[in-house]
Amino acid sequence: MLVPPQAPPSWNHTPEQILKETESYITNGKQLHDKIGAIDQPTIENSFKPFAEFDNENAGISNILTFYQHVSASKELRDASTEAEQKIRDFSIEQGSREDLYKVFNKLFNETKNYDSLTDETKKYIKEINDGFKRNGLALPLEQREKIKEIQKKLSNLSLEFGKNLGEQQEFLLFTKEELDGVPKDVIDQFEKITDDSGEEKLKMTFKYPDIFPVLKYAKNENTRKLAFVGDQNKVPQNEPLLQEAVKLRTELAKTLGYKTFADYILEKKMAKNSETVLSFLDDLQKKLTPLALKEREQLLSLKNKDLKEKGLEQSDQYYVWDHRFYDTLLLEQQYKVDQQKIAEYFPMESTISKMLKIFEKLMNLKFIESIDEKSVWHQDVKQFAVWNTDDGESSPKFVGWLYFDLHPRDGFNKTDDSRQYPVTALVCNFSKPTKDKPSLLKHDEVTTFFHELGHGIHDLVGKTEYAEFHGPSGCSWDFVEAPSQMLEYWTWSKDELRELSSHYETGAKIDDELIDSLIRSKHVNGGLFNLRQLHFGLFDMTLHSINPDTDIAKFWNESREKIALVSSGGVETKGFNSFNHIMGGYQAGYYGYLWSQVFAADIYYTKFKSNPMDTKVGVEYRDIILARGGSKEENDNLKELLGREPNNEAFSKELGLNA
């Protein structure tokens, strides 16, 4: 029996323990930093090494303490975890503003050329620390430094409050059964029944994905879809002033630090380097996508009018934003014979996820062993796996880390010697729970989403860096971080791999060729509109943080959606930015990265995997060059090593049917 050398973390914290351990973490960190800051003659041994060791040893602790806010069923635990994150963020801001530490690391950075024995990763880390102090204003006069620190703390508070409002929101709409005509029975069966003030029994639709997406995709009543879409867009109105204040503070921060815009401040540390590069990329992509998307919209509007005629309703010259998921689904069913409900029958969640793990076992020489121990998980629904590397054969595996799956939504649900700190990775999802008649069945887009998210988990698990700073996805440039998982999405559009993942929930049969072929043919149907939607988010983000930070946010959100994404809201103002957590949770001036990284994802897949997606030799090479290194080397250098050349956009353009 394989025994992991590191026990799984404990998940039995009380609110009091969370706050006590947080205080201990902060106290220990401050004591160490006080000691380092007092050193007159800093060296690698007396300054950098203890600093890095503390970070390595405690990164997992802080991640666990702040994780409960996203997954715990206990509001008290969630609140304590949120408070812990605020305290840790404040501590980080304070320590990042210390002049004594800056002097130590600035001196070390200037002397790294004298240390011949330092690894490239160590040199990079010292540079990152020194740059971090400069980006916190440590090279500026005291008054400006204090102003920057105050702004950073305000921004941290705004980010936490924005995310907490989203995680805690329990808004809903009530519909009659007739208003939900077309929505699959297994979805409706999970809606809570509520008697309204008039005594009529209605069904409660929350704004969680398993509730609202099927309504937008299948409800035949346009007004139902409109109410669902507008309600979802306009939830958490208390977030609007938080975003407005954050944009103003970010602009003020950038100006104080001497940057032209906040986007330039952020992008300096990304692959793109500056806002001009990003805006040029998005503008070029918009020009290429728009003609394709206009044709798609024309076809969908024609389908809409055909549907309206069959229902005896008046024709329309408008294609509304709440129309899109419904008519996109109808087009796939009628013209491409894609029956998403039928396809889902072949992807029961439990067996599909098990088979996904088998793919990673073969592709990257890994082994997943489920561990049944309710004491070492935070909720009874959570699954835990010990993960092993089998490069040297299954008889002598090496421990990799712990993997957790938390798959269903619930209230409040929204990481000094030669020893190794093993990764602990959790995937938190929003899949429907099984009913009394059926297991949880995954739609194909959910299969793709889970494989994507599992890719992030694997990226974290197989990371092998000297320093936690560069480990896994969080250690990469944020405009590259999605590329490995986007690349893996290609497996869920590959015929052999799809068949391997499938198993009918009643018969166990593999999905047939006809269903697979129709699905694969539909891959890029309405792809122009889909990517323009992403481009709308990216340009909205970049406009707030570079072109016009003083813009009327609500007006720009609605006008730019119609202009860029080519869908109308019929004059109804919506405020989807109130739930756009990306630009308050780390992706500010960075949402473009979802499109930017697709270029690399396509290039890797077409060059290395397309001819044989299950080639273990290539999979291990990819694992070791791209995933294991995290951000310890420049991503572009890793790509050149893997591809044997500079990356380019030829595969991306080919995939989308665009001219390069």
Catalytic positions: 453
Question: How far is the C-alpha of 242 from the C-alpha of 375, rounded, in Å?
Answer: 38
- Using alpha carbons only, give the angle 597, 601, 602 rounded to the nearest 5 degrees: 120
The alpha carbon of 116 is separated from its chain's Cα centroid by a whole number of angstroms, namely 39
Those residues whose C-beta lies under 8 Å from the C-beta of residue 115, and which sit 6 or more positions away, are 44
What are residue 434's phi and psi, to 5 degrees? Answer: -65, 155
Question: How far is the C-alpha of 54 from the C-alpha of 87, rounded, in Å?
Answer: 18
Question: How far is the C-alpha of 329 from the C-alpha of 233, rounded, in Å?
Answer: 21
Tokens for 122, please give them: 């160590």
Specify whether the CB–CB gap between 18 and 62 falls below 8 A: no
Task: Provide the 8-state DSSP code for 568.
Answer: B
Specify whether the CB–CB gap between 471 and 589 falls below 8 A: no
Question: How far is the C-alpha of 360 from the C-alpha of 366, rounded, in Å?
Answer: 6
- Using alpha carbons only, give the angle 105, 107, 112 rounded to the nearest 5 degrees: 90
Question: How far is the C-alpha of 462 from the C-alpha of 499, rounded, in Å?
Answer: 27
Find the helix packing angle between 99-111 and 15-37, rounded to 10°: 60
Work out whether strand 383-389 and strand 398-406 pair parallel, antiparallel, or are unpaired: antiparallel
Residues facing 172 on adjacent strands? 206
Question: How far is the C-alpha of 438 from the C-alpha of 510, rounded, in Å?
Answer: 18
